[in-house]
Chains A and B, each alone.
Chain A
Amino acid sequence: MSQLLEAFSWLADPTRWSGTDGIPTRLLEHLWYTALGVVVAAVIAVPIGLLVGHTGRGRGLVVALSGAARALPTLGLITLFGLWLGIGLKAPILAFVVLAIPSLLAGAYSAVESVDPRTVDAARAQGMTEWQILSRVEVPLGLPLLISGFRLAIVQVVATVMLASYIGNGGLGRFIFLGLQLQDYPQMLAGSILVVALALVLDVALRVLERLLAPRGAARG
């Protein structure tokens, strides 16, 4: 209990809120790593997921690969990629990409699959091209599921990005690993609190976005 109080007083210390190794800098680094990982993953996973959802082909393969990727321990991946790519940002980002892909893939193909096949049939019968069906019917109607895929990916990566500090990068994980080294438990705890708070805030914000972007006119659950 007293350690928790000490952690909060560590956080309340104004000197921690400025400078190149202050909380704001680490927070921005943390968000930056998260964005990098999720964006790269999205560039790979979203088009594939949409295509699988639209054509119905390759679903089995994608589900199997996602399942396999989910089972990989991220710390192990970072270590492995670190041995291969060396110290720096590349290895952890690559690991976050692997971490984010399954949620994004699932979000993308389930978004398309959630659209009533009769609506898709009607769109096709009116003379929409396959691309128009995807971009004007399936994506807008499936948008909430697509975003919830992003939300899951972001929350997973945000919680894991602290591992980047494990091989010498910035981010909120710095406080945790530094605290561990120095046996400064309040600092460790404060770092953890920051990570948890960030994950919660992002989760809520993205849930709100999901609501706002739900297609008008479509029945809401």
Chain B
Amino acid sequence: MIRFDHVGKTYPGGTTAVEDFSLTIDSHASVVLVGTSGSGKTTLMRMVNRMVDPTSGRVLIDDEDVAGVDPVKLRRSIGYVMQASGLLPHRTVAENVATVPLLEGVSRRRSRSRALALLEMVGLDHRLGDRYPSQLSGGQQQRVGVARALASDPNILLMDEPFGAVDPIVRAELQKELLRLQSELGKTILFVTHDIDEAFLIGEQVVILRPGGEIAQQGTPAEILADPADDFVESFVGSGVGKRALHVDEVSGQQVVLDAGDRPVGVLREGSRS
């Protein structure tokens, strides 16, 4: 369980990224923070592994204040997938995946076989293990980032816009893989994105942030869609006048679903799935 207890962060330059934020994330839950750029998502996420220390309030993991935990130990116990993969360019893919096990003194051979198994687990050919990160595509690098985060079998997984830099098709694939992995592994996931569709797909709970880390609304995707708290949330999730208000029209004998701007988004099939 991760608990943010009235945390705030004002950076040395004077920017207040987060004013006063509280949230509890249950174990094995996946929670997505979503908000516009600069709303404090990364700042909040990095408080969990002490890459950022809050200037007020506390972050607790299983009721222990992280401020009292050695940051190096804490970071090794938490998986962290970064926006731009953050792989070490001078180490092979397998060595990158095995970073934490190697730091923890696991033998080279065992770390390597674990790394190769993890590569397969995230849907990569284990033969990619001997390449360097620069020899992989962006999507492959992100998968390696996920494999690396899983290497020490952490309970907590932090994912900061992990699929932000890949094209929509690869992105959808990676999202699907993540859902599959999560159904197998049951980690506590804190996920950050500014893509509301991704938030609704990944998150059991979604937290919509205003600038300053202020919670605009929090709930399951269905709850938020059904009952947006205010205009900000409504415009953010695109309900009301937005793309989520759909209507049906008949075109060449097919029931075509159109959005508010009359753009076709799909075809209606009755009872095709049960």
Contact = CB atoms under 8 A, between A and B. Distances in A.
Interface of A: 118-119, 121-129, 132, 137, 140-141, 215-219
Contacts of B49: 125
Contacts of B74: 127
Contacts of B80: 125-126
B76 A215 contact: no
Contact of B89 (A125, A127, A128, A141): A141
Contacts of A128: 72, 99, 103
A118 B86 contact: yes
Interface residues on B, range: 20 to 34
Interface string B77-91: 100101010111111
B9 interface: no
A127 B82 contact: no
A121 B75 CA distance: 12
Nearest to B76: A127
A132 B135 CA distance: 25
Q: Which of A123, A125, A140, A216: most chain B CB closer than 10 A?
A: A125
Contacts of B76: 126-127
B100 interface: yes
Nearest to B95: A217
Contacts of B103: 126-128, 132
A216 B75 contact: no
Contact of B51 (A124, A129, A137): A124
Interface of A is mostly: helix
Interface in B45-93: 46, 49, 51, 72-77, 80, 82, 84, 86-92
Interface in B106-135: 132-135
12 contacts: A121-B86, A122-B87, A125-B49, A125-B86, A126-B75, A127-B73, A127-B77, A137-B88, A141-B90, A216-B90, A217-B134, A218-B89
B148 interface: yes
A121 B103 CA distance: 16
B155 to A, nearest CB: 15
B96 to A, nearest CB: 9
Q: Which of A122, A128, A141, A216: most chain B CB closer than 10 A?
A: A122
A127 B72 contact: yes
A125 B47 CA distance: 11
Given A118-B86, A132-B103, A218-B134, A125 B51 contact: yes
Nearest to A137: B88
A217 B72 contact: no
Contacts of B84: 118
Please provide the 9 A-B residue pairs with the shortest distance between their CB atoms, ordered closest to farther: A217-B132, A122-B86, A127-B76, A215-B90, A127-B75, A218-B89, A125-B80, A126-B99, A127-B72
B83 to A, nearest CB: 9
Nearest to A143: B90
Contact of B90 (A118, A132, A140): A140
Contacts of B51: 121, 124-125
Nearest to B46: A125
B75 A119 contact: no
B160 to A, nearest CB: 10
B243 to A, nearest CB: 34
Nearest to B93: A217
A121 to B, nearest CB: 7
Interface string B160-203: 00000000000000000000000000000000000000000000
Contacts of A129: 72
Contacts of B82: 118, 121-122, 125
B82 to A, nearest CB: 6
B100 A127 contact: yes
Contacts of B132: 216-217
Nearest to B152: A127
Contacts of B88: 119, 122-123, 137
